[in-house]
Chain A
């Protein structure tokens, strides 16, 4: 171990949504839409005695990625857990629709989705749920006209609830080890089914079930990256170049892929059981590996697919 301190590289987990955007895009190219000075804030929070955010926890705009025009949206996972509210959701829906409408008029062909969300903001649950559904429809409409949508997940709120479903509707998914992707949160499962089903305080278990490594190894994510923003950027550039077309062939392949997963792992209770079946060395220690060692696991490459 080096005795000289190595300064930290900017990492995704630690960064705010705005810092992630700045680090992800080509320097100086970001232009925000409906910026904070417009004060498009949630009108619903005050009745819950909550203060809002000037951007309602979602930043949308345009910029360049490796020279190419892109749209970008980033959730601030620290503001109300990055949850979807009415304004927050509508900004995302607007951005995706703009991509859809502009795709054949020289607009950006790629949308970067920096998800960091616990799901629906309960103070505006109906609007949030609907916004998630609208987001899904808008992503798919955009994909139909050839826009690629890349999800990037590695923040503290992960991509839970509807955020998990949105993730899997994207053309490509990038995760880091911190990034969790799931529908029902561990606390929700524990509340509904008891601590024997899911002990939400057992954080290692939470990550074994929902974490980035599990998602990457099962093919539920397309690219596993280290925590650094520059790695997310490199992955976004690499993946945006070629994405699966949103066609019946793709979905038939996805049907097959997902059916196989149930067949292969349907009786597993925990991810080490899956890794044992997959023939990984030291299935119990996957979480303990360094990022480099994890990235060197051969089965990680086998998980790559276009069935999304």
Chain B
């Protein structure tokens, strides 16, 4: 007789085992370890919530302390390997296999753990790729998530940092899994229900609020003149050129510089309302001056940003907020918007090769991908037209074919040299070396060359859409690679020809005087200025203050 309810039965077993330590759905903080030991089984697929922003850090710390003779060989399927306790899971044998998306501070430890076989790697994904697999072949048995508030029934308020909680819970709760939430506070009534109680099995009031990394805060004080020059070129040579209204920005300083000169340089060029009106973007504090100056119509966010909550609540015309007035973020939806509804992705990278492949892998460090590859990929399923999209498509196809499709603009900004004079333009990505060392089937590439449409360095813009051969592509890239070996290896004649054709454009070709690239152009030159722009609503984390 076939059994069709085994997962249900197992789920019930786990719930029964846990009922000893729970009071209804509520579990005391000091019983959390017992709870985890009750609901977990060796070999389980476990999603420990945590990405590049929020972390279920209390549950992570507790999971790293469970008895590894009882709980072992877990298969972690989670966005981020970010905390020390994430590494401890593998160090202690509690977990063995890993499918993930992003690693921050643990990038180097992760590479070592792969090399020594401490971690068996499934794959490195982009965010939505991993979410997709949650409902396909990597469905979690147990999800350990984080929320701000819970009521006694288990209704959760995940608030501004909702991020990926809904997608994790969806995949787990509706496939007979167990959902455990750590919350900052248990209340009588939650401000709003982000996750309904019947998708939540247990709630623990943690001994501290869940950790959030202020990853998207860039101090304007550290924006350099070179970055401002690149920002000017990008605005004039790409934003204005294509009339880009819907876009996503990466987290680097060059894009922060763009945000900061929209109200000055962009204003001078008369571009207000014509570019950069709709965004798929985390709440970058550096965008505050542009918002306050009326540049921005609306922003949907992957997550929140530390200190921005009050500001966003007060600017509900711009941000997505609930009836309770606070931001609602959603990583899956925002990534989808980035993929299908943005005409441009523009972000920084650390290395680019002669074909335009771009990577953030540096020797001995695996940074993962996060969401950039989705933002930075042409969506072949897109069907709605915009001027920017069509113009890019026409440029790529010489404008002859009757069925010319559009192209997403995918722009990589990079200074020719990085810290310690390491060249950013290279013959071969460090990623390839790393793949060989770690025996990876697939070298981690952030954005493939065939998706990239423009490369911006302080020397100029290379428009790869206009290149008609591999040689032209290579010379276009060399032509903006400055004084790096790659740059100095250019063929001067070809580069000159590409410049005449507008494939390469230098600041002077765009009518930009190098000497205008001054910090005076920044609408805010410090975090303090951002606070002032926000009318005191932005409350930066202490580490960014100098007052």
Q: Are B293 and A288 in contact (CB under 8 A)?
A: no
Q: Are B263 and A203 in contact (CB under 8 A)?
A: no
Does A228 lie at the interface of the complex (its beta carbon under 8 Å from any beta carbon of B)? no
Query: How far does the Cβ of A235 sit from chain B's closest Cβ, in whole Å?
Result: 18
Q: Are A287 and B547 in contact (CB under 8 A)?
A: yes
**Interface size in chain B (residues, C-beta < 8 A):** 24
Does B520 lie at the interface of the complex (its beta carbon under 8 Å from any beta carbon of A)? yes
Query: How far does the Cβ of B334 sit from chain A's closest Cβ, in whole Å?
Result: 27
Task: Known contacts A5-B263, A8-B520, A288-B536; decide if A14 and B546 are in contact (CB<8 Å).
Answer: no
Does B47 lie at the interface of the complex (its beta carbon under 8 Å from any beta carbon of A)? no
Residue interface mask A177-209, B partner, CB < 8 A = 1: 110000000000000000000000111110100
Does A1 lie at the interface of the complex (its beta carbon under 8 Å from any beta carbon of B)? yes
Q: Are B525 and A205 in contact (CB under 8 A)?
A: no
Query: How far apart are the CA atoms of A207 and B526 in the complex, in Å?
Result: 16
Q: Are B545 and A4 in contact (CB under 8 A)?
A: no
Query: How far apart are the CA atoms of A225 and B300 in the complex, in Å?
Result: 40
Query: How far apart are the CA atoms of A192 and B523 in the complex, in Å?
Result: 40
Q: Please give the residue numbers on chain B whose beta carbons come within 8 Å of chain A beta carbons, in ascending order.
A: 263-264, 267, 289, 292-294, 519-520, 522-523, 525-526, 528, 532-533, 535-536, 542-547
Q: Are B547 and A177 in contact (CB under 8 A)?
A: yes
Does A232 lie at the interface of the complex (its beta carbon under 8 Å from any beta carbon of B)? no
Nearest B residue to A293, CB-CB: B536
A interface: dominant SS = loop
User: Which of B528, B542, B544 has its CB near the most chain A CB atoms (within 10 A)?
Assistant: B542
User: Sorted from nearest, which 7 A-B pairs have the closest CB atoms?
Assistant: A204-B542, A203-B545, A5-B263, A3-B294, A177-B547, A202-B542, A204-B545
Q: Are B292 and A1 in contact (CB under 8 A)?
A: yes
Query: How far does the Cβ of A271 sit from chain B's closest Cβ, in whole Å?
Result: 13
Q: Report which of B289, B545, B546 forms a contact with A5, defined as CB distance below 8 A.
A: B289
Residues of B within 8 A of A162 (CB): none
Nearest A residue to B535, CB-CB: A1
Q: Are A3 and B292 in contact (CB under 8 A)?
A: yes
Residues of A within 8 A of B543 (CB): 201-203
Q: Report which of B267, B292, B533, B546 forms a contact with A203, defined as CB distance below 8 A.
A: B546
Query: How far does the Cβ of B538 sit from chain A's closest Cβ, in whole Å?
Result: 11
Residues of A within 8 A of B546 (CB): 156, 178, 203, 207
Residues of B within 8 A of A213 (CB): 547
Residues of B within 8 A of A201 (CB): 542-543
Nearest A residue to B545, CB-CB: A203
Query: How far does the Cβ of A159 sit from chain B's closest Cβ, in whole Å?
Result: 15
Task: Known contacts A3-B292, A3-B294; decide if A14 and B519 are in contact (CB<8 Å).
Answer: yes
Does A211 lie at the interface of the complex (its beta carbon under 8 Å from any beta carbon of B)? yes
User: Which of A4, A178, A203 has its CB near the most chain B CB atoms (within 10 A)?
Assistant: A203
Residue interface mask A285-307, B partner, CB < 8 A = 1: 00110100000000000000000
Q: Are B542 and A203 in contact (CB under 8 A)?
A: yes
| Chain A to chain B contacts (Cβ below 8 Å), 25 pairs | A1-B292, A1-B533, A3-B293, A3-B294, A5-B263, A5-B293, A7-B264, A7-B520, A8-B522, A11-B525, A14-B519, A14-B526, A177-B547, A178-B546, A178-B547, A202-B543, A203-B542, A203-B545, A203-B546, A204-B542, A204-B545, A207-B546, A207-B547, A213-B547, A290-B536
Does A30 lie at the interface of the complex (its beta carbon under 8 Å from any beta carbon of B)? no
Query: How far does the Cβ of A12 sit from chain B's closest Cβ, in whole Å?
Result: 12
